[in-house]
Structure 1
Amino acid sequence: MTLPVRRGTSGRLSERRFPGWRDPLAEFDDLFGRMGSLLESTVGGALTEGAAWAPLADFAETDDAYQIDVDVPGVKRDDISIEVTDREMVISGEFKERERGGVLRRGTRRTGRFEYRTMLPGEINAEGINATLSDGVLTVTVPKAEAARPRRIEITAGE
């Protein structure tokens, strides 16, 4: 059995500026790279195959709600799950690969399981959560609890 060999990076900028000087963390870098190569060659990348990845998302806050916009182009609403526990929200689902005729010459689209996790910064009204899917963007609106909403105090004229 042969193991992949990681080639050293000679001619680093720090070595060119200061001849004879070696970065003290370079040995750790090298060790980390070798261990990663060994793990990949023995396990074959099985640790990352079933792992979910996070889609692109925006998280915004207004006076009365939190809004999360998640990019999920081509995903059907039945393939998306939204769960809220205490203040943690998990949006998960799957990008299914399309059936194609012929040979795929190049594929850059992500497929498989995705998962977006976020902690909501304040108290929420879990009963009022609303989710819509339009034009490949999932919009989840989470209303704040009454106690978490900012209160406007009116200033009256004094004497």
Structure 2
Amino acid sequence: MTLPVHHRPGRLLERSFPALGWGEPMATELDELFARMNHLLQSAAAATPAGAWSPMADMHETDEAYVVEAELPGIKREGIDVEISQRELCITGEYKEREREGVLRHRTRRTGRFEYRALLPTDVKAEEIKATLTDGILTVTVPKAQAAKPRHIEITGS
């Protein structure tokens, strides 16, 4: 992950936009924002294992379950691990590079370890989770635990 280069407070902005009158207060605010964004990017990078990438995925909710569809083309079932702990779904694995003849001239496909994590908003039935891999799409269906449904209570006389 590339992180932007940090400049001294206000100096770059004052030199770049003197006609706008961007003095120290504006430059300081932007510098503080830059520092917070940099911290956010660094903490996000530290949250995933070194070198791991996250597959493209969608998660949608039905009345009965959460459904995650992750794009994992070319990865076999044996190379994928699906786990749930408490309310966090974790899909991990490794896409191994194929052996080729000749010299690789250009690469845009990802290889190596991958990880997808999703925090589910409600309790789930962990023992009933199902996962299928079809045409490079991993579909994980996580049934919701039955919450107490509201019911009408009749008030009786004493």
Normalising by structure 2, report the TM-score: 0.68
CA drift at 1:144: 0.8
Question: Which residue does the alignment assign to 1:101?
Answer: 101
In 2, are the aligned partners of 1:66 and 1:144 still within 8 Å (CA)? yes
Alpha-carbon displacement from aligned partner over 1:8-54 (angstroms, at most 9, x marks no partner): 8x799961642674623459969xx9xxxxxxxxxxxxxx9933121
| Number of residue pairs the alignment of both structures matches | 132
Structure 1: 5+ residue runs without aligned partners? 1-5, 34-47, 155-159
Checking the alignment, whether the CA contact within 8 Å between 2:14 and 2:23 is kept in structure 1 is no
CA distance in 2, matches of 1:14, 1:153: 65
Q: Give the 3-state SS of the residue equivalent to 1:116 in structure 2.
A: strand
What amino acid does structure 2 have at the position aligned with 1:68? V
Task: Supply the distance in 2 between the matched residues of 1:97 and 1:26 (Cα, whole angstroms).
Answer: 42
Distance in 1, matches of 2:150 and 2:91, equals 33
Secondary structure of the residue aligned to 1:147 is coil
2:69 alignment counterpart: 69
Cα distance in 1 for residues equivalent to 2:57 and 2:15:
37
Q: Percent identity, aligned pairs only? A: 50
User: 2:143 corresponds to which residue?
Assistant: 143
Give TM-score scaled by structure 1 length: 0.68
In the aligned structure 1, how far is the partner of 2:63 from the partner of 2:15? 50
Structure 2 counterpart of 1:50: 50
The residue type paired with residue 18 of structure 1 is L
1:98-137 matches, within 5 Å, as: 98-137=98-137
Question: For the structure 1 residues 55 and 13, does the alpha-carbon distance in structure 2 shift closer, same or farther, using more than 3 Å as the test?
Answer: farther
Counterparts of 2:74 and 2:62 in 1: how far apart (Å)?
A: 28
Looking at structure 2, the residues matched to 12 and 92 of structure 1 have their Cα atoms a distance apart, in angstroms, of: 47
Tell me, yes or no, if the aligned pair for 1:14 and 1:21 is still in contact at 8 Å: no
**Matched residue of 2:115: which SS?**
strand
User: Counterpart in 2 of 1:18?
Assistant: 20
Letter of the structure 1 residue corresponding to residue 105 of structure 2: R
Rounded to whole Å, the distance in 2 between the matches of 1:12 and 1:114 is 43
* Distance (Å, rounded) in 1 between the aligned partners of 2:22 and 2:146: 65
Q: CA deviation at 1:95?
A: 1.2
Shift of residue 98, structure 1, vs aligned partner: 1.2
Give the letter for the 2:66 counterpart: Y
